[in-house]
């Protein structure tokens, strides 16, 4: 399984994932698997994240990757006009499905169920959108992809794949007011999922390095990639990801300490002003 979550703020979306990838026998393949990709159309700037069986090998030996096929589809229709984000995503999904069906081979040995899911977050003609695509199969054969709009309330924290228990333990009471807060929500949630791998049944399939990106009207930007310039913002976010989650008590103590420091500084300034205004002897 994969842990993927997104949060929306007035400044844009933040989307993140864990980095664990295992083989069919449960052996760790990598702790830094890429599960989120940037995408760009002339009207839609977005990120897409994958969960489920994102790649597999057919009985004939042919390897199929949902992410690779989708990225190729993005390139092929980058200049085609669509009436909205849903129509665009639907066109991408059908192109991926056609490629998958072209092999004329079953996609799964199971009777039916979900094969893979993709989540899209971004801006279509300046309007925020969050959608998902389900690739399901029936008796091993792919059925028509299903497009869904995720959460009509964009301010809601969206768990695309992950632990509901971890989210409940965070006790989030309000939507983020800034990109930084959105990144804090997502990175804390994902790191808690990763840290619970050894202690929680709910998190045993998560692990590796947390990956984080933002999507605004200007496009996609990695927030934690070592391949990107180490800006002040990405450095702060990397420290957040590498640090253990902060408890409510610690947050409350820090807020009280900051308020006390501000009051002390204000009082010191007042005393200084009085001393400066006093007539000299």
Taking phi over 0 as left and psi of -120 to 50 as alpha, with beta for the rest, 125 belongs to left
Reported as a single tens digit per residue, the pLDDT across 87-115 is 999 999 999 999 988 877 887 667 688 88
Same-domain status, 259 and 231: no
Same-domain status, 214 and 272: no
Same-domain status, 202 and 87: yes
Rounded distance between C-alpha atoms, residue 46 and residue 133, angstroms: 14
Q: C-alpha distances in angstroms, 101 versus 67, 116, 143, 151?
A: 16, 15, 10, 30
Q: How confident is the model at residue 253 (pLDDT cuts 50, 70, 90)?
A: low
Same-domain status, 273 and 141: no
Same-domain status, 190 and 171: yes
Residue of 54 and 194 predicted with greater confidence: 194
Same-domain status, 55 and 92: yes
Residue of 12 and 169 predicted with greater confidence: 12
Same-domain status, 122 and 159: yes
Same-domain status, 233 and 266: no
Rounded distance between C-alpha atoms, residue 255 and residue 251, angstroms: 6
CATH of the domain at 197: 3.60.20.10
Angle, helices 85-101/66-76, rounded to nearest 10 degrees: 120
The closest of 36, 49, 43, 47 to 78, measured between CA atoms, is: 43
Residue-averaged pLDDT of the chain: 82
Same-domain status, 229 and 274: no
Residue of 244 and 62 predicted with greater confidence: 62
The closest of 163, 184, 174, 169 to 243, measured between CA atoms, is: 184
- Mean pLDDT (whole number) for 236-241: 48
Strand-by-strand arrangement of the 158-161 sheet = 158-161, 4-9, 12-17, 211-216, 219-222
**Helix, coil or strand: residue 132:** strand
Rounded distance between C-alpha atoms, residue 197 and residue 208, angstroms: 10
Reported as a single tens digit per residue, the pLDDT across 133-157 is 999 988 888 889 998 887 667 888 8
Residue written as token pair 């333990």: 169
* pLDDT at position 84 over 60: yes
* pLDDT at position 60 over 90: no
Considering its fold, how many domains does the chain have in total?
A: 2
Residue written as token pair 């103590």: 253
Same-domain status, 13 and 133: yes
Same-domain status, 170 and 275: no
Q: How confident is the model at residue 224 (pLDDT cuts 50, 70, 90)?
A: low
Structure tokens at 217: 């009207």
Taking phi over 0 as left and psi of -120 to 50 as alpha, with beta for the rest, 263 belongs to alpha
Domain extent for 88 = 4-244
Enumerate residues 6+ apart whose C-beta is below 8 A from 116.
50, 51, 52, 53, 54, 66, 135
- Mean pLDDT (whole number) for 255-273: 67
pTM of the predicted structure, to 2 decimals: 0.77
Report the DSSP beta bridge partners of residue 16. Answer: 5, 212
Cβ atoms within 10 Å of 227's Cβ, excluding its own: 5
Residue of 130 and 24 predicted with greater confidence: 130
Phi and psi dihedrals of 141, rounded to 5?
-110, 135
* pLDDT at position 230 over 50: no
Same-domain status, 256 and 129: no
């Amino acid at each position: 399984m994969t842990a993927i979550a997104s949060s929306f703020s007035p400044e844009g979306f933040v989307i993140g994932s864990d980095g664990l990838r295992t083989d069919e026998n449960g052996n760790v393949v990598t702790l830094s698997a890429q599960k989120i990709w940037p995408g760009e159309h002339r009207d839609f700037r977005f990120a897409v994240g994958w969960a489920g069986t994102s790649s597999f090998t057919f009985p004939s030996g042919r390897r199929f990757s949902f992410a690779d096929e989708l990225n190729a589809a993005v390139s092929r229709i980058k200049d085609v006009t669509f009436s909205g984000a849903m129509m665009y995503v639907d066109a991408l999904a059908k192109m991926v499905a056609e490629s998958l069906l072209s092999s004329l081979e079953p996609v799964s040995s199971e009777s039916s169920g979900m094969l893979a899911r993709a989540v899209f977050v971004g801006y279509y003609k300046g309007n925020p959108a969050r959608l998902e695509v389900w690739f399901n199969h029936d008796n091993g054969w792919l059925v028509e992809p299903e497009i869904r709009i995720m959460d009509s309330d964009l301010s809601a924290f969206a768990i695309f794949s992950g632990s509901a228990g971890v989210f409940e333990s965070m006790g989030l009471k309000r939507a983020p007011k800034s990109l930084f807060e959105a990144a804090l929500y997502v990175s804390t949630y994902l790191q808690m999922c990763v840290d619970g791998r050894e202690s929680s049944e709910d998190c045993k399939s998560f692990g590796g390095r947390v990956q984080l990106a933002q999507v605004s009207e200007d496009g996609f930007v990695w927030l934690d990639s070592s391949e990107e310039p180490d800006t002040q913002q990405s450095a702060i976010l990397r420290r957040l990801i590498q640090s253990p989650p902060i408890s409510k008590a610690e947050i409350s103590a820090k807020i009280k300490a900051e308020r006390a420091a501000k009051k002390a500084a204000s009082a010191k300034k007042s005393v200084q002003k009085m001393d400066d205004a006093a007539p000299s002897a």
